Structures are given as C-alpha cells and as structure tokens.
Amino acid sequence: MERQNGDGLDPLLAEVRSCTRCELPLGPRPVLQIAPRAPILIAGQAPGRRVHESGILFDDPSGDRLRDWLGVDHETFYDPGKITIVPMAFCFPGTGRSGDLPPPPLCAATWRARLLAHLEGVRLTIIIGKYARDWHLPERTGQSLTETIADWRTLWPDVLPAPHPSPRNNRWLARNPWFRDDLLPLLKSRVGEILST
C-alpha cells in the first residue's frame, strides 16, 4: 500500500464526511477518528444507533468494555494522535432482526485503502469482528472468527483479532475464558508499552 503524507488527509476527510453514497435509515453521519502518526489502529465494524446520535465512536457499553480491554481512559482513547479508529463503515447501517445490520461494503471499497494509506506509524492493529477480519486478514476468511482469534499468537505483537466488545458477546466471552485470562493482560501491557514510547 503506497504511503501518502498527512497533508492530503484533510481533503480526504472532508470527502468522507460529506459522503452520501449509501441510502441509510437515519441518513449519513460518517464517524471516524484518524491521525497519520497514531501508533494504534482499531479496525471496527460500523457505528451503532447511539454513536450515530452522539457522533462519538464507542460511546456505549461496547466502548466501556473496549477501553477496559486496552487499559486506557477516555482521554487516551479519544486522542487521535494515540489511537486511530477506522470502522469498516462510517455510518449506522440500520437494525435487522438480530441486531445492527452489517457494514455496507461500499464504504470500505470507497474509502478504506485511501484512508489507511495515510497511516505512518501503526505498531498495533486491533481487528474487531468478522467484517474487519475479512478485510484485514483475507487469508483467514475460511476460518470462524473464534478460530482466527484463538490463533492470535501467530499475528502478535503487531495484529490482534478480537470479538466485538458488545454485551451481545457475553456468552462468547464466557465460553472462551482464555481471551480474558491469557490475551487481555498481554494486550494491556502492549498498549501501555506503545503509548509510553
């Protein structure tokens, strides 16, 4: 992926924030957090309804859990110079029968590579959920998400696949205590190391 300098990011962000390509139930409201030199990239799914209303990523119980996983406070989490958050889609996609709809593929196809090309110093990419996994680790799409996450040591310490921190995944977390016991302490340590240097 060709790297670009940070000077071209502002016009690109203006394009993203004025995007109306998708027909969405609540209309467009692109939400992302990005800075070229941020050392941590969170590759998420898509904003939920609450984030659509607030305009603040992970402004919900999922965010509380994610910040706990990382061992960071609000101030650190929302500092784009420390943590870049680029979901697979930037607007709330709507609600289906079993939760929020998947991120519309058009969003990633239109913007993702162009935005990520501006990132210059990512030392840790946290890939949240199946849709982000499929984009960032296409060679793993034949696996279940649990298999990919369980194989995290082969990607560590630069990449970490993770489940979505939503309360909807409480059962998954209960069935997979190794994620909490083995992986999260290392994640907190890695994040602390990166942010302190």
What was the pLDDT predicted at 85? Answer: 98
Question: What distance lies between CA 124 and its chain's CA centroid?
Answer: 12
DSSP 159: E
Partners of 173 in the β-ladder: none
Any domain includes 169: yes
Any domain includes 1: no
pLDDT(3) > 50: no
pTM tops 0.75:
yes
Any domain includes 141: yes
**Based on the structure, what is the number of domains in the chain?**
1
pLDDT(20) > 50: yes
Partners of 160 in the β-ladder: 126
CATH number for the domain spanning 73: value is: 3.40.470.10
Longest dimension (CA), the chain: 46
Any domain includes 16: no
Any domain includes 17: no
CA 112 – CA 65 distance, rounded (Å): 25
Percent of the chain, pLDDT > 90? 92
CA 32 – CA 120 distance, rounded (Å): 17
Q: Which domain, by its residues, includes 169?
A: 6-11+25-195
Looking only at the bridges linking them, the beta strands covering 124-128 and 159-162 are: parallel
Per residue in 127-157, pLDDT tens?
Answer: 999 999 999 999 999 999 999 999 999 999 9
CA 100 – CA 48 distance, rounded (Å): 7
Any domain includes 157: yes
pLDDT(161) > 90: yes
Q: Give residues with Cβ within 8 angstroms of 194, minimum separation 6.
A: 39, 40, 123, 124
Any domain includes 83: yes
Binned at pLDDT 50, 70 and 90, residue 7 comes out as low
pLDDT(5) > 50: no
Kindly report the average pLDDT of the chain as a whole number: 94
Per residue in 88-118, pLDDT tens?
Answer: 999 999 998 878 899 999 999 999 999 999 9
pLDDT(1) > 60: no
CA 8 – CA 16 distance, rounded (Å): 13
Amino acid at 117: A
On whether the CB atoms of residues 33 and 76 are closer than 8 A, the answer is no
The DSSP element (H or E) to which 22 belongs, if any, is none
Any domain includes 19: no
